[in-house]
Amino acid sequence: MLFKISVKNIRKSFKDYAVYFFTLILGVAVFYVFNAIDSQTVMLDVRKNVYDIIKLMNEMLSGVSVFVSCVLGFLIIYASRFLIKRRNKEFGIYLTLGMSKRKISAILFFETLLIGIVSLVVGLLLGTVLSQFMSILVANLFDADMTKFKFTFSSKACVKTLLYFTIMYLLVMVFNVVNISRCKLIDLLNAGKKTEKVKMKNPVICTIVFVIGVGILSYAYWMVTAGFSNMDMADKIIIPIAMGCVATFLIFWSLSGLLIKIFTSIKSVYYKGVNSFVLRQFCSKINTTVFSTTIICLMLFITISVLSAALSMKNSMSSDFKKMCPVDIQFTKISYEALKEAYATADKDSDDYEKTTKILEDSKLSISDTLKNNGFDVDEYLKNMTEYSVYQTGLEEMDTLGILADEICEKYPMVSFLSSVNFMKLSDYNKIATLYGNETYSLGDNEYLIVANFKTVADIRNMALKAGTKIDINGKTYSPKYQECKDGFIELASQHINDGIFIVPDDALTDSQLYKCGMTADYKADSKEEKYDIENKLDDISKNIFNQTSYLSYNSKIDLAEASVGLGALVTFIALYLGIIFLISSAAILALKELSDSADNRERYGMIRKIGVDEKMINMALFKQIGIFFAFPLLLAIIHSVFGIKFINLILQTMGMSSMLASVGITFVFLVVIYGGYFIITYLCSKSIIRP
C-alpha cells in the first residue's frame, strides 16, 4: 500500500517537480559523460605520448569527480527539502488520519528510491548518447584515427555513477527520516499559512554596511587590476578573494533592507500595476536568502571566470602553436667550448672518465655528424636544413639592466637576474627569421637589439632599453638601437617563452664564446604516418645518446602539438565539468526556491485574482518575481567577472597568451542556455502551480 501511494504521489506531482527531475537526470548524464572518457578513448588509434596525456586527463577528471559529487550531493539534499516543504500539508493529513511517522518515512523512502532509479536510468541513457559526441570531440582534439570509432558503453563509468549517486540518495533518505521525525502536526497543517516577517532594517545601518561592502569590494578589484604588479606572491591572491566574498555578503545583506525602503518611497513605481505585490513577495523571503544568494553569486562568478580562462588558454595555445612552430624539427647541441671547462678536471681513474671523453669528442662534431654516427641519415629524412649558433660572453642578466638594476630587482623580487645572457650574430638571426617568416634587422658597428616575446621579461628589458643601457662585449661598448624589444624567437615552442636574445654585429663574437649550435629542418615525408616513423627513429636515438655520449636534444612540431593539445584539453574539460555543474547547481537552487515559494504563495495569488487582477497581470507579477531572484545574484557575479577576467587576462598576457574576448562570448552562450533555460522552466512550472 505504501508503495502504491509513493507511485501515485510521483505520478501526480511530476509536473510540479519537473525542475527536480530535470536536474537529477542532467547531473547523472554529465557525471557519466566526463567519467566515460577513459573507456571512449581506448579505441582511439593514438601515439603512446598522446595516450599518456589522455590517461593523465582521465585521472584528473576522476579526482574532480569527487568534488563534483559533493556539490551534487548538497544539491540533491537541498532539493529534497523543497519536496518535503511542498507537501507539509499532505503529511499533516496523513498524521491526522492516524498514519505513523515511520510509515510517512517509508513513503518518502520509496519515492526517493523510485526517483533515484528513474533519474539514474534516464540519465545514464542520455549520458551514453552524449558520451559518443564527447568521444568524437576528444578524437578531433588529439587528431586520432576515427575509422575504428564504434558505439561504446562504459561499464566503469556506469558503476562509478551508480555508486556515487546511490550514496547521495541514501543520504537523502536519512535526511528525510530525520526531518519527518522532528515534524509537529500543527506545524505541518499550518505551514502554508506561515510567512516570513518582513523586518524593516534600519536604513542608516544598511547604508553604512553597503558603503563598507562597496569599499572592500573596490579595493579587492584594485588589487587584482591596477595593483596587479604589487602581487608578487601567489598566496596574496587569497586576500582579494576573501575580501570579495565578505563584501558580496555585506552588499546582499544591506540591499535586502535598502531596496524595500527605496522602492516604497518611489510611489509612482511602487503603486504601478502589481509592483507592490511583487515587492512584498520579494521582501517576504529576502531576509533568509542572503547567505544562499551570496553562495550562488560566487558560484556564478567562478563559472564565468574559469570557463572564460580555460577556453581562452586553449584558443591562445592553438593559435600560438601555428606561429611558434614554423618547421618540423629543431636540434640543439652544447658546444665543445661550453663543455671543456666543466670536464677539464675529470679524474682519469674514475668510472665516468670514458663517458666524459666520448662527450667531449662528440661535442666537436656537428649536429648532422652526430645523427649520422648514430644511424640517422639526415640527407634521407630531412630537408631545408638551416644551422645557427648561440653564444655566451660571461654577461649576466643583471649586467644588462644598467643604472636601473636596483630599481628593477626591488620591483620584481620573484625574477632571477643571475642567469647568463644569450647572444646571436645578426646574420644567423636574420637567416632564421627569414625561415620563420619574422622581421629581419640591420645594425651599426656599435649597436645591439633584443628579440623577445615573453611579455613579463620583455617589459623589464624595455625599462633598461629606454634608459639607453650599454653593454660591453670583448672590450667594445654597444648601445641599444631600439628602445623596446622586438618580437621574435629562435626555439620552437607552443607558447611565447623567449625571454630575450641579444642580437649583435657578426664581428662582436668569437668562436671561443660559442655556447650551443642549432639546426632546424623539415621532414622528407608527405603523410602523417611517415612523419611518425621519423619521430620514432629520433626517439630511439635520443634515448641512446642524450646525456650519455652527447648533449644533443630536439623539439619537434608533433611533440609540441601533442603537449599543447593535451594541456588545452585538460584545462578545457575540467573547466567545462566544473562550470556546467556549478551552473546547474546555482540555477537549480534558485529554481527550487522559487517553486517552493510559488507553492506557498498560491493562496496569495488567489486573493489578488479575487479582487479583480487578470491572469496576464498575475503572470507578469510572477515573471518579475522570478526574474528578480534570478537576476539578483547574476548581476553582481557579472560585475565580479569583469574584474576577475581582467585579472586572469593579465596573467595570461604575462604567459604570452592572447585576449579572452572570444572565450567570454562562448561562456555567455553557456550561461544563457543553462541559466536561462532553468529560468524559463521555473516560470512555466510556477505558473502551473499558481493556476486555479
* Total domains present in the chain: 2
Kindly report the number of other CB atoms within 10 A of residue 180's CB atom. 20
Average pLDDT over residues 3-28: 73
Burial code (b: 16+ CB inside 10 Å, e: under 16) for 498-531 equals bbbbbbbbeebbeeebbbbbbbbbbbbbeeeeeb
User: What is the tens place of the pLDDT at every residue in 630-666?
Assistant: 888 899 999 998 888 888 777 766 665 555 566 777 7
User: What is the tens place of the pLDDT at every residue in 351-374?
Assistant: 566 677 777 777 888 888 888 888
Domain assignment of residue 550, yes or no? yes
Indicate the range of 16-20, 186-190, 275-279, 428-432 predicted with least confidence. Answer: 186-190
Q: Are residues 356 and 499 in the same domain?
A: yes
Q: Are the CB atoms for 142 and 563 separated by under 8 Å?
A: no
Whole-structure pTM value: 0.74
d(CA 116, CA 631): 31
Domain assignment of residue 183, yes or no? yes
More confident residue, 348 or 296: 296
Query: 184 falls in which pLDDT band (50, 70, 90)?
Result: low
d(CA 425, CA 510): 10
Q: Are the CB atoms for 629 and 686 separated by under 8 Å?
A: no
Q: Which pLDDT score, from 0 to 100, does residue 194 have?
A: 52
Q: Which pLDDT score, from 0 to 100, does residue 231 have?
A: 57
Average pLDDT over residues 507-514: 90
Burial code (b: 16+ CB inside 10 Å, e: under 16) for 265-286 equals eeeeeeeeebbebbbebbbbbb
Beginning with the edge strand found earlier in the chain, give each strand of the sheet holding 471-473 in spatial order: 471-473, 476-480, 447-451, 501-504, 423-425, 382-391, 514-523, 329-334, 552-556
Q: Which pLDDT score, from 0 to 100, does residue 497 have?
A: 79
Amino acid (1-letter code) at residue 208: I
Query: Would you give the DSSP letter of residue 41?
Result: G
H helical segments located in 384-440: 405-411, 426-436
Query: 140 falls in which pLDDT band (50, 70, 90)?
Result: low
Q: Which pLDDT score, from 0 to 100, does residue 423 have?
A: 95
Nearest to 27 by CA among 64, 81, 75: 75
More confident residue, 89 or 420: 420
Alpha-carbon radius of gyration of the chain: 33
Domain assignment of residue 523, yes or no? yes
Which of the given ranges, 165-169, 199-203, 348-352, 558-562, has the highest pLDDT on average?
A: 165-169
Q: Which pLDDT score, from 0 to 100, does residue 71 have?
A: 83
Domain assignment of residue 12, yes or no? no
User: What is the tens place of the pLDDT at every residue in 451-504?
Assistant: 998 887 888 899 999 989 999 998 899 999 999 999 988 988 877 778 889 999
User: What is the tens place of the pLDDT at every residue in 598-636?
Assistant: 777 777 777 777 777 777 887 888 888 888 888 888 999
User: What is the tens place of the pLDDT at every residue in 317-338?
Assistant: 666 777 788 898 999 988 888 8
End-to-end Cα, the chain, rounded Å: 30
CA atoms within 13 Å, Cβ hemisphere of 520: 22
Q: Which of 130, 162, 194 is the last residue of a domain?
A: 194
In terms of residue numbers, what domain contains 477? 328-554
Residue 21: phi, psi to the nearest 5? Answer: -65, -45
Domain assignment of residue 364, yes or no? yes
Domain assignment of residue 171, yes or no? yes
3-state secondary structure of 424: strand
> Please, what is the average pLDDT of the chain?
79
Domain assignment of residue 393, yes or no? yes
Q: Are the CB atoms for 167 and 120 separated by under 8 Å?
A: no
Q: Which of 146, 166, 194 is the last residue of a domain?
A: 194
d(CA 388, CA 627): 65
Q: Which of 554, 588, 609 is the last residue of a domain?
A: 554
Domain assignment of residue 610, yes or no? no
Indicate the range of 192-196, 377-381, 392-396, 652-656 predicted with least confidence. Answer: 192-196
Q: Which pLDDT score, from 0 to 100, does residue 518 have?
A: 92
d(CA 418, CA 398): 6
